[in-house]
A and B are shown apart, each in its own frame.
Chain A
């Protein structure tokens, strides 16, 4: 049982480049989330998916897109990376909604030059 896995672990991009962060969970959870973590700001929700086939914006969705490919996988895409998107990105999942315990992946550290 791997829990929540994320790839890649590290990435360096140039401004304007695009990339997709991958996330998968093997706990049969319905809900999945993408957060970014910046120093002194805690975690901020980018997008979430309450169930397969649905996605909703969180607190800071601008500059990102998501795809809930199936129940297991939830990807985050940066179409044109900006230095302000330098951050640590965490994927999480939960059985149902935000009242439930969330299980986090190990994170992706992204640097945009």
Chain B
């Protein structure tokens, strides 16, 4: 079974500073990778996803992530954060499971942007 590790449970950062949220996964088979964001008291919404092709994926709100197969990582980055980026971020990995696919979420990283 695959697992997803988000290495930091909390990341505080000052406004306009860059940020990187780290995600590593354990799987040797074909993976699809996702980053979701959850604002307070809301459901999750997709930031970006990697299915195939270019390893650098651009998402909404200025976020991007790079798929690194050799390091089994999919870190999320933003060059300059805003107060409104304060939220919880979840990495998720989808792998084949029989005729379907299985999706596993990481435990989340709380990003807090400080003024």
Q: Which residues of A contact B (CB under 8 A)?
A: 4, 40-45, 50, 90, 92, 97-99, 101-107
Contacts and interface: CB of A to CB of B under 8 A. Distances in A.
A98 B103 contact: yes
17 contacts: A40-B108, A42-B106, A42-B108, A43-B90, A90-B44, A97-B100, A97-B101, A98-B32, A98-B100, A98-B102, A99-B32, A102-B44, A104-B43, A104-B44, A106-B42, A107-B41, A107-B42
B65 to A, nearest CB: 15
Interface string B38-77: 0001111110010100000000000000000000000000
B interface, over-half SS: strand
Given A98-B100, A99-B32, A107 B107 contact: no
Given A4-B43, A90-B44, A98-B94, A40 B107 contact: yes
Interface size range of chain B in the complex: 20 to 34
Contacts, number: 50
- Majority SS of interface residues in chain A? loop
Contacts of B34: 101
